Amino acid sequence: MTEVFDSAVRSAGDLAGVYEYDGDTSYFYLYDTRSEDTRKVIAAIPVLAGPSDFEEEDVAIRWDSTEGKVGLFIRERLWAAFDIETGAKYGGNYCAHGNPEMPVEIAEAFETEFGGEFGGHP
């Protein structure tokens, strides 16, 4: 696999969670999408350096039910997230056989939305 790109725009159209892997490194970005002239990265979380062990179909970007948090899921596990309301960022540092470092309350925000299927904590 050489490159992966996935994104999800909030229903208001103002923000997007974006994952990009260029074959060497990957990041999860929070983008301001309000206009072409001002489109910019607001925040970034490093996810992976080196070869990837997952495919494009293993990656998903999801907003929680309040659209106050956006998360990066790899193989249906929450690996990185932005909290829009507080400006906090969580996770990153994907490891094939590791566990995501995600606060329980952040993972639970997505579990509520997706029926407990996508949690990032043990």
Q: pLDDT tens digit string along 82-121?
A: 999 999 999 999 998 888 999 999 999 988 555 444 444 4
| Dist CA 21 CA 69 (whole Å) | 21
Q: Is residue 87 part of a domain?
A: yes
Tens-place pLDDT, residues 67-80? 999 999 999 999 99
Q: Is residue 60 part of a domain?
A: yes
Domain residues for the domain of 108 are 4-113
| Dist CA 47 CA 44 (whole Å) | 9
* pTM (2 d.p.): 0.87
Q: Is residue 122 part of a domain?
A: no
Count up the domains in the chain and report the number. Answer: 1
